[in-house]
């Protein structure tokens, strides 16, 4: 069965420092991976996706993610964090057997301190 | 920019009552999803429509939940009777028909069952 794991409940980083939010996956077949962000009392906003091609994927708001097949990871990164990046981040994998169904991780709360 | 609309944004009800949520997807999106997000967890798919047909309702508690998308456009999710454990955020999303497309989420309906 497809699954994703986000090993950190919370990540704390100082403004201006680089940030990484971790995600590992387990899939049968090719992985199709996504990152979403959720602000309080809001729906999820798409950040980026990996379907095929370059292992480094660039997305919205300066975020990028690195796909690593050998480590089955898809970590979200940003070179310089902003206080406004503080939110809940979800990694997701497309279910192989479904009609574009997504399976989400439990989420990681990112807190960026001034 | 087109958005997914949901109403109401908040709903408080007593257990055993009936509740209904409405979703209007982005125009032209063939696929519509209803997710449930329990506090502290990632969204979990309840039901997925392709046009007016249900293609996945494997996680929908069919004894109390129902969903419809009669004309293949907007959709309604109903719970009858509501139980305390149904308290959650209910998210609607839509996507174009093409595979591997990202899903666009609405703001959600936060349900509290007393």
Whether the CB of B44 is below 8 Å from some CB of chain A: the reply is yes
Residues of chain A with pLDDT > 90, as a percent, come to 79
Q: For residue B2, what pLDDT band results from cuts at 50, 70 and 90?
A: confident
Query: Rounded to whole angstroms, what are the CA distances from B37 to A77, B34, B49, B70, B88?
Result: 25, 10, 18, 25, 6
Looking at residue B56, its pLDDT comes to 92
Q: What is the mean pLDDT of residues B41-57?
A: 94
- Token pair recorded at residue A96: 């192989």
Q: What's the pLDDT tens digit per position in B57-88? A: 999 999 999 999 988 899 999 999 999 999 99
B102 and A107 in contact by Cβ < 8 A? no
By CB atoms closer than 10 A (0-12, 13-18, 19+), residue B101 is: middle
B42 and A106 in contact by Cβ < 8 A? yes
Q: Residue B28's Cα: distance from chain center in Å?
A: 18
Q: Which residues of B touch A34 (CB under 8 A)?
A: 102
How many angstroms separate the CA atoms of B21 and B19, rounded?
Answer: 7
How many angstroms separate the CA atoms of A113 and A42, rounded?
Answer: 22
Looking at residue A98, its pLDDT comes to 64
Ranked by mean pLDDT, the top range of A44-53, A91-100, B74-83 is B74-83
Distance between start and end Cα atoms, chain A = 41
Looking at residue B40, its pLDDT comes to 87
Torsion angle in degrees (nearest 10) through CA of A96, A11, A72, A42: 20
Residues of chain B with pLDDT > 70, as a percent, come to 99
Q: Which residues of A touch B (CB under 8 A)?
A: 32, 34, 36, 41-46, 49, 51, 90, 92, 94, 98-102, 104-107
> CB atoms < 10 A from the CB of B102, how many?
20
Looking at residue A28, its pLDDT comes to 84
How many angstroms separate the CA atoms of B8 and B10, rounded?
Answer: 5
Instruction: Give every CB contact of residue B100 below 8 A, 6+ residues apart in sequence.
Output: A32, A49, A51, A94, A100
Q: For residue A1, what pLDDT band results from cuts at 50, 70 and 90?
A: confident
Looking at residue B70, its pLDDT comes to 85
A98 and B100 in contact by Cβ < 8 A? no
Residues of chain A with pLDDT > 70, as a percent, come to 98
Q: How many CB pairs below 8 A link A and B?
A: 62
Task: Tell me what the pLDDT averaged over chain A comes to.
Answer: 93
Q: What's the pLDDT tens digit per position in A3-44? A: 999 999 999 999 999 999 999 999 888 889 999 999 987 889
Residue A101 has pLDDT above 80, yes or no: yes
Angstroms from A82 CA to nearest CA on chain B:
23
Angstroms from A70 CA to nearest CA on chain B:
22
Q: Which residues of B touch A98 (CB under 8 A)?
A: 48, 55-56
Residue A85 has pLDDT above 70, yes or no: yes
A44 and B4 in contact by Cβ < 8 A? no
Q: Which residues of A touch B47 (CB under 8 A)?
A: none
Q: How many residues does the structure list for chain A? A: 114
- Token pair recorded at residue B99: 């595979």
Q: Which residues of B touch A36 (CB under 8 A)?
A: 105
């Amino acid at each position: 069965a497809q699954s994703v794991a986000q090993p950190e409940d919370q990540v704390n980083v100082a403004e201006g420092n680089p940030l990484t939010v971790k995600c590992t996956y387990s899939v049968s077949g090719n992985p199709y991976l996504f990152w979403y962000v959720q602000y309080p009392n809001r729906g999820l906003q798409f950040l980026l996706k990996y379907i095929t091609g370059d292992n480094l994927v660039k997305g919205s708001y300066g975020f990028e993610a690195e796909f690593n097949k050998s480590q089955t990871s898809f970590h979200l990164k940003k070179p310089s964090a902003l206080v406004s990046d503080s939110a809940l981040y979800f990694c997701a994998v497309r279910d192989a057997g479904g009609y574009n169904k997504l399976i989400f991780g439990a989420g990681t709360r990112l807190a960026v301190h001034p | 920019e087109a958005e997914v609309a949901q109403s109401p944004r908040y709903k408080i009800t007593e257990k055993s009552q009936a509740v209904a949520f409405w979703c209007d997807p982005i125009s032209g999106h063939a696929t519509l999803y209803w997710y449930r997000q329990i506090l502290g967890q990632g969204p979990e798919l309840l039901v997925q429509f392709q046009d007016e047909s249900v293609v996945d309702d494997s996680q929908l508690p069919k004894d109390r939940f129902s969903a419809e998308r009669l004309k293949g456009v907007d959709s309604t999710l109903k719970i009858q009777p509501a139980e305390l454990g149904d308290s959650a955020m209910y998210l609607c999303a839509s996507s174009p028909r093409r595979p591997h497309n990202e899903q666009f989420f609405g703001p959600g309906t936060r349900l509290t069952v007393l």
